[in-house]
A = this chain, B = another copy of it.
Amino acid sequence: MIEPFLLKLRARDAIAPDEEAAIREMIAEVKEVPADRTLVRAGDEINHSILLLDGLLCRYKDLRDGSRQISELHVSGDFADLHAFTLKRLDHSVMALTKCRVAFAPHERIMAVTRAHPHLTRMFWLMTNIDAAIHREWVLSLGRRSALSRTAHLFCELRLRLGLVGLAAETGYALPLTQADLAECLGLTSVHVNRVLKELREAGLVEFRGGRVTIRDSVALERAAEFDPAYLYLEPRPR
Q: Does A128 contact B (CB under 8 A)?
A: yes
Q: Which range holds the interface residue count of chain A?
A: 35 or more
Q: Indicate whether A226 reaches chain B with its CB closer than 8 angstroms.
A: yes
Q: How many copies does the complex hold?
A: 2
Most chain B C-beta atoms within 10 Å of own C-beta, residue among A85, A87, A126, A130? A87
- Interface 1/0 per residue, A42-61 and B, CB below 8 Å: 11000000000000000101
| Mask of A62-85 contacts with B, CB within 8 angstroms, 1/0 | 011001110110000000000101
Query: What residue in chain B is nearest A184 (Cβ atoms)?
Result: B143
Question: Which of A2-10, A20-28, A114-122, A171-179 is found at the contact surface with chain B?
Answer: A114-122
- The answer, yes or no, to whether A212 is at the interface (CB within 8 Å) is no
Q: Is A11 an interface residue (CB 8 A)?
A: no
Question: A186 to chain B: which residues have CB within 8 Å?
Answer: 143
- Picked from B64, B123, B135, the residue with its CB within 8 Å of the CB of A136 is B135
- Cβ–Cβ < 8 Å partners of A239 in chain B: 86, 88
A88 to B88, CA, bound (A): 27
Which of A43, A123, A136 lies at the interface centre, i.e. has the most chain B CB atoms within 10 A of its CB?
Answer: A136
Binding site for B on A (CB under 8 A): 42-43, 59, 61, 63-64, 67-69, 71-72, 83, 85-88, 91-92, 114-115, 118, 121-123, 125-126, 128-133, 135-140, 142-145, 186-187, 226, 230-231, 233, 237, 239
9 closest A-B pairs by CB: A143-B187, A135-B135, A132-B132, A142-B142, A91-B231, A86-B126, A69-B143, A83-B129, A71-B136
